A and B are shown apart, each in its own frame.
Chain A
Amino acid sequence: MYKTMGSTALKRLMKEYRELTLHAPEGITAGPTTEENFFEWEALIEGPKDTPYEGGIFPATLTFPKDYPLSPPTMKFTCDMFHPNIYQDGTVCISILHAPGDDPNMYESSSERWSPVQSVEKILLSVLSMLAEPNDESGANIEACKVWRADRKHFDELVRGTVRKTLGL
């Protein structure tokens, strides 16, 4: 009856992976990096239409804790990303990746938080809408916040530069 650490997490991750393979939302692909380790995922995110990220395909990794889904995964882009809510090392900083009470960036109380009712799919959809609509109230990249607030045209140019880079142009 005693369960070994991580068996609930593994079961849940396999279900989520199956579900994502069958009904992947548009603009998102995600799955374990290798069949041997379900706690490390790779995701590909297409830049949303009508945003400076359009046309780009952005790779990211998701790292799951052994007590997933009680605790959230972390998400990190592995390409250059210029965005107010993404740290320079690629780490994504949005409220859905933080449990209530864990408040590094003073999220609004109504913002969506991590709990086991969330899922990889919901995280990735939140990231998609984060790309379309940055939240400069809880910034992770201060430089990106400043440019986004002060000079939207310049911001778009800088983003398009990183998009070209990810496409190898």
Chain B
Amino acid sequence: MPINYYLFLSLALFSIGMVGVLTRRNAIIIFMCIELMLNAVNLLLVAFSKMHHLKNLAINPMIGVDGQLFVFFIMVVAAAEVSVGLAIIVMMYRNVHSVDIQFLNRLKH
């Protein structure tokens, strides 16, 4: 499969995630959109890694492996982020009975 398909798919996922972050007010949905963006990047990394690996197999069989390593890092960080982020959202809901981020605009003052 040509690399272009992967590129377009991950660009579409990233854009959906970004627009979601910018437009939605529900904290949980924003959170999901962030995950979407992270995974779009993961997809891209894996696609490029595979491409380079196949192309340079004869020269160096280890090439392109680092891209996939990064994907694992991102997954770990995303998992950690989810645990902290969800905890924050739970606390937020307990305090203000809402997960609307517009409600939390006190930073302005």
B is a partner of A:
no
Taking Cβ atoms with an 8 Å cutoff, the residues of A that contact B are none
Taking Cβ atoms with an 8 Å cutoff, the residues of B that contact A are none
